[in-house]
Structure 1
Amino acid sequence: MLETTIECPYCGLKKEETMPTDACLYFYTCGSCNKRLKPKPGDCCVFCSYGSSKCPSKSE
């Protein structure tokens, strides 16, 4: 498991999250504004789009 910080593009909340090493996370709900985030076009998961580091599958 790897750590990253997800930043909500709607409210700016930054939250430390653990990235699974064996799966992609396609949806993430912000704990502050409750907006549901999904990957930007061309990204495989919310970590690649909004995280401080790319997901494990893209980091290799």
Structure 2
Amino acid sequence: MELKSIITCPNCQYQKEEIMPTDACQYFYECESCHARLRPETGDCCVYCSYGTVKCPPMQEGNCCC
């Protein structure tokens, strides 16, 4: 299981590598550059599934966490 994902802000394209939580989905994320508050896109369970290079740990294991 991969625990690092690079989140790309859809507003300013800023990228940052983050370590994902293994026991829960992350519903909100604040961009360090433009301070936009990101939420999952419709149909996704968390910000990593919407904006990250790697899906969240529950999705990697085949379990939808929403």
TM-score tier by shorter-chain length is over 0.9
Q: Greater strand percent: which structure?
A: 1
Structure 1 residue runs of 4 or more that deviate by more than 3 Å after TM superposition: none
TM-score where L is the length of structure 2: 0.88
Once the two structures are superposed, residues 10-60 of structure 1 have per-residue CA deviations (whole angstroms, 9 ceiling, x without a partner) of 000010000000011000000000000000000000000000010001111
TM-score where L is the length of structure 1: 0.96
Tell me the percent identity.
Answer: 60
Question: What is the aligned-residue RMSD (CA, Å)?
Answer: 1.0
**For structure 1, which runs of at least 5 residues remain unmatched after alignment?**
none
Q: Tell me which structure has the larger Cα radius of gyration.
A: 2
